[in-house]
Amino acid sequence: MPKSFCRLAFVGLLGVASVILSFSADGQQVPAQIQAPANEKLLLQVHAKGDQVYICQEGVTQFAWTLKAPDAQLFDKDGKPFGKHFAGPSWEANDGSRLVGKAVANAPSPDADSIPWLLVNIVSHEGSGVLSPVTSIQRINTKGGKAPASGCDSSHAGQEIRAPYSADYAFYAPK
């Protein structure tokens, strides 16, 4: 086989690999089940810092901490305030554009003490602005945010706790 053909084939394989694999901002591979659809492109990425709010509720067989809502501030790549993340789940930019999403896939965080990574499809938009074209979001690079393993029983029914967390949110729009 001629060397030029081998080089061309290798370069072609590298191109395919770069399309198939997606990496988070800190270089960790994003699992296939939460990768954005192929017909979407990365629009922007923000960093979230805040809390996951849990409430102690009675379940089918026992009491358990149940996610009530996120409560986080969003920051752009320069660390400047970008917006907020709250119940819905919702994301609102400082320009007033707002999204509500629904998680459609998840993957365990590489950090066992952290909430899962997610793929979220957008179910509604409000306002006009930077978030208007967004059709999906990835939550990646999570740190913290898990509910406590204990402390929720009938004597704590209705009690809320806040679990500090941080994550990166990658916003995708059609190509």
Task: Report pLDDT digits (tens) over 99-150.
Answer: 999 999 999 999 999 999 999 999 999 999 999 999 999 999 999 999 999 9
Task: Give the H or E element holding residue 8.
Answer: helix 3-20
Segment 150-165, tens digit of pLDDT: 999 999 999 999 999 9
Rounded distance between C-alpha atoms, residue 161 and residue 72, angstroms = 15
Tell me the β-bridge partners of 137. Answer: 120, 171
| Collapsed DSSP state (helix, strand, coil) of residue 1 | coil
Q: How many residues appear in the chain?
A: 175
When pLDDT is cut at 50, 70 and 90, the band that residue 12 belongs to is very low
Rounded distance between C-alpha atoms, residue 163 and residue 148, angstroms = 8
Task: Report the chain's mean pLDDT, rounded to a whole number.
Answer: 89
By 3-state DSSP, what share of the chain in percent is helix, strand and coil, each rounded to 5? 15, 50, 35
Can you give the pTM of this predicted structure? 0.84
**In degrees to the nearest 10, what's the CA dihedral of 64, 106, 136, 95?**
40
